[in-house]
C-alpha cells in the first residue's frame, strides 16, 4: 500500500508543476469507449536535470513504468482501506473504475501521467476534473497530504464550483462546461496564488476520436486527422480554468 501512495504522491507532484494537459476520448459506434486524461511533465524533468538536484529522496532518480488499477487496489487492500479516514476512503472509492499509469525516464528527461476509465454510454462520460480532485485529495498513511492549495485541480469541482457534462445521440456530440458557483470558482482561482504564473505557458488539448468522419466542429482553429475521425483543439490551460466554457463545443458526424 505504501508503494501505491508513493506513486500517487508522484502523480500529485506533477499536478503542481507546469505541464501540458490532454483530454482524450475514444467513442465507438455503439456509444461506448474510453476517456483518458494525460499530463506531460517532461519540462519539469528537464528543469530538474539542469538544476542538478538530488532526486534519490523523492524516487525520481530511476526509470518508472507503473500502473495502478484502482478496482484491484480496493480488493487487495480492503482491510487497510476500511481503516482509512473516511474522506480518504471516499476519494479512493470514487476512483474505483479508473486506471492510472505513471512513466518516467530521468535519462531521457521524460515524465507522463495517464488516468483513464471506460464507459458504456458517452452520455455518462465522467468529468475528469472530479477524478483529478479525488486523486489530489488522497493522503498516505504516514505522509503529508498529497493535495495542495496550489494544485489547479484542488476544489475545482468537489466544491461545486464548475461542472462538465456530455451529450451524444450517435450523430451529435456536445461537451458542456459551466460555472455553477461564481464565488467558489473565484476562490478556487485565488487559491492558485503565484503558481498561476507557472501554469501560464501550459496548454489544455482535447483529442476526440469518433467512429465516423467529423462533418463539423463548432470551434474555429480545430485540427483533423486525415480521415477526419479525430478532432483536436487547444486552449491555454489558465484560460480554460478561468473560463471553462472555452471548451464548450458541438461535433456533428457524417451519417452512417
Residue 234 reports pLDDT greater than 80: yes
Whether the model clears a pTM of 0.85, i.e. scores above it, the answer is no
- Predicted confidence at residue 10, as pLDDT, reads 66
Percent of the chain with pLDDT over 90: 41
Highest mean pLDDT among 17-26, 126-135, 230-239: 230-239
Torsion of Cα atoms, 91 then 244 then 15 then 1, to 10°: 20
Residue 142 reports pLDDT greater than 70: no
* Domain residue ranges of the chain, discontinuous segments joined by +: 2-253
- Helices 2-15 & 128-136 angle (0-180, nearest 10): 120
Residue 145 reports pLDDT greater than 80: no
How far apart CA 242 and CA 229 sit, in angstroms, is: 30
Percent of the chain with pLDDT over 70: 77
* Selected residue with higher pLDDT from 34 and 137: 34
pLDDT band at 81 (very low <50, low <70, confident <90, very high): confident
**Nine cell digits for residue 172:** 451529435
How far apart CA 44 and CA 76 sit, in angstroms, is: 33
Amino acid at each position: 500500500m505504501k508503494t501505491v501512495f508513493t506513486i500517487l504522491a508522484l502523480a500529485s507532484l506533477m499536478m503542481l508543476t507546469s505541464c501540458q494537459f490532454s483530454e482524450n476520448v475514444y467513442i465507438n459506434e455503439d456509444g461506448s469507449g474510453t476517456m483518458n486524461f494525460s499530463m506531460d511533465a517532461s519540462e519539469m524533468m528537464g528543469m530538474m536535470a539542469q538544476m542538478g538536484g538530488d532526486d534519490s529522496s523523492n524516487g525520481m532518480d530511476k526509470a518508472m513504468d507503473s500502473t495502478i488499477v484502482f478496482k484491484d487496489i480496493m480488493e487487495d487492500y480492503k482491510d487497510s482501506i476500511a481503516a482509512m479516514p473516511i474522506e480518504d476512503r471516499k476519494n479512493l472509492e470514487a476512483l474505483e473504475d479508473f486506471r492510472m499509469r505513471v512513466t518516467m525516464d530521468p535519462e531521457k528527461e521524460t515524465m507522463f501521467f495517464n488516468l483513464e476509465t471506460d464507459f458504456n454510454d458517452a452520455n455518462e462520460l465522467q468529468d475528469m476534473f472530479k477524478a483529478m480532485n479525488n486523486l489530489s485529495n488522497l493522503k498516505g498513511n504516514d505522509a503529508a497530504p498529497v493535495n495542495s492549495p496550489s494544485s489547479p485541480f484542488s476544489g475545482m469541482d468537489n466544491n461545486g464550483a464548475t461542472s462538465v457534462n456530455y451529450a451524444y445521440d450517435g450523430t451529435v456530440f456536445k461537451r458542456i462546461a459551466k460555472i455553477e458557483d461564481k464565488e467558489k470558482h473565484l476562490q478556487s482561482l485565488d487559491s492558485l496564488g503565484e503558481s498561476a504564473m507557472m501554469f501560464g505557458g501550459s496548454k489544455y488539448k482535447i483529442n476526440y476520436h469518433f467512429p465516423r468522419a467529423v462533418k463539423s466542429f463548432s470551434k474555429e482553429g480545430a485540427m483533423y486527422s486525415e480521415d477526419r475521425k479525430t478532432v483536436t483543439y487547444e486552449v491555454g490551460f489558465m484560460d480554460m480554468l478561468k473560463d471553462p466554457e472555452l471548451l464548450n463545443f458541438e461535433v456533428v458526424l457524417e451519417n452512417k
